[in-house]
Structures are given as C-alpha cells and as structure tokens.
Structure 1
Amino acid sequence: MTATADSLVVDIVRTLEKQGVPRDAYQLGREFDPEALARLLDTGGDAVEVRLEVRGVSLVVTKQGVWVTDEPPSSQPECPNCGLPVTAVVQLVPTHHNAYPCGCRVEENLLE
C-alpha cells in the first residue's frame, strides 16, 4: 500500500476502535479498497466525501480525516442477478455497468 493508503487505514481502524469495534471483527480489504479510496481522495479535490459502513458503523472519509456520522447505516441494494449486497456500480465502458463487489452486469441506475 502507499503511504497515503496506510495512513487512511490507520485513521479508519482507530476510529472504529473508538466505537468499540475490535480489529479482529472485520477485514478492511473486504469492506472497500483502501488504495482506490486513497486515490479518490487524492485526485478528487477537497469537496470529495466518501461514506462507508464497517460493521454497522457509518463513517465519513475526506482529505481532512475520518469521523463517525450520526446518520443511521443505509441498507445496500441487492444485486438483481446474484443477490449479494451492492456497494457501487462500476462503468468500464459506456454500455457496460457492473455491480461491485460481485461483478454482475446491472443497470446503471441500480443505486439511485
């Protein structure tokens, strides 16, 4: 991992620990991609705000830091093909949209 991603992971882990979530209760690499999150924050400007949920704790991540939000955790829609929770829809080419993390092909407005 890059230094930025390492620092981000440490901040997220410390924030989760303050909320009583032990380190052995999750694997961040399965919750989200730390490298991709760090790149998004590095290249997206100061207005980028990413919301994550790890073990029922809703987090807000920006260039300025990581904190817990008071908003209740949102439910994730299920993939219409395989039924797994969908955290993002990835568009690699204009006509193809894939659910993340399962990879099934889906409609682009699945998360709207």
Structure 2
Amino acid sequence: MTVSTDDLVVDIVRTLEKQGIPRDAYQLGREFDPEALARLLETGGDSVEVRLEVRGVSLVATNHGVWVTDDPPSSQPECPKCGLPVAAVVQLVPAYHTAYPCGCRVEEDLLE
C-alpha cells in the first residue's frame, strides 16, 4: 500500500482534532519528519508500526492508518556514547547501526 505524505499528515491532523488538539497547537514538522515517516511506512510494509506522541496524545502509525493508543510511548533510552536520548537506530549496512538523532555508532539491539 502506498503511503503519501499528504494523506499521512491529514490522517494525523484529523486524529489529533478528534482528541481536542487544535491545528494551531503544534507543528508536525517540529514533532517529527512527516516525509521520513511516510517513506518508512511505505517501505516497511505491514511489519512496521511507529509510535509517536504529539502534544500528549500517543499515536500509532502504520501503512493502514493512524490511531490513538492508551499505551504511553516508552521513554527513550540514552545513547551509550554521548548520553542524548535515542529516538531510533538506523541501519545502513548490515554491520553498522547509527543512533538518531545524535549519529553515534551503537549496537543494533539498543531499542529492544
């Protein structure tokens, strides 16, 4: 299923509005990168589920849609190299894993 950035943003905005969060209370581009999220959902297939929080509302995004969850997002682990919070671990080649957003090289199981 193709996930367009525009459809994803509209889905997130409508979901947040249903929770009483007005459009002028946040800027999605400052909360996360909508284009990167859309690419992740599109390329990851049915196995990818992204949990994010916008203004205190916990959301789950998949290539099938966005919905509110009662599960609070887990606290972000700290990077073992620099101590900054790690939002994701990016794998560009099989043996190389990079913490995001700091860019430090880390073990692949950091977020497990």
- Partner in structure 1 of residue 97 of structure 2: 97
- Partner in structure 2 of residue 75 of structure 1: 75
Matched letter for residue 88 of structure 1: A
Output the CA distance in 2 between the equivalents of 1:23 and 1:105: 37
- Partner in structure 1 of residue 40 of structure 2: 40
- Partner in structure 1 of residue 50 of structure 2: 50
Q: 1:64 to 1:93 in 2, by over 3 A?
A: closer
Q: Does the 8 Å contact 1:77/1:85 carry over to 2? A: yes
Q: CA RMSD in A?
A: 2.2
Output the CA distance in 1 between the equivalents of 2:47 and 2:30: 26
- Partner in structure 2 of residue 12 of structure 1: 12
Cα drift, residue 25 of structure 1: 4.2
Secondary structure of 2:108's partner? coil
Q: Does the 8 Å contact 2:48/2:62 carry over to 1? A: yes
Cα drift, residue 7 of structure 1: 1.5
Mind listing any 5+ residue stretches in structure 1 that lack a counterpart?
none
Output the CA distance in 1 between the equivalents of 2:55 and 2:83: 19
Q: Does the 8 Å contact 1:57/1:73 carry over to 2? A: no
Mind listing any 5+ residue stretches in structure 2 that lack a counterpart?
none
Output the CA distance in 2 between the equivalents of 1:64 and 1:41: 9
The share of aligned pairs that are identical, in percent, is 85
Q: Which has the higher helix share?
A: 2
Name the TM-score, length of structure 1 as normaliser: 0.78
Name the TM-score, length of structure 2 as normaliser: 0.78
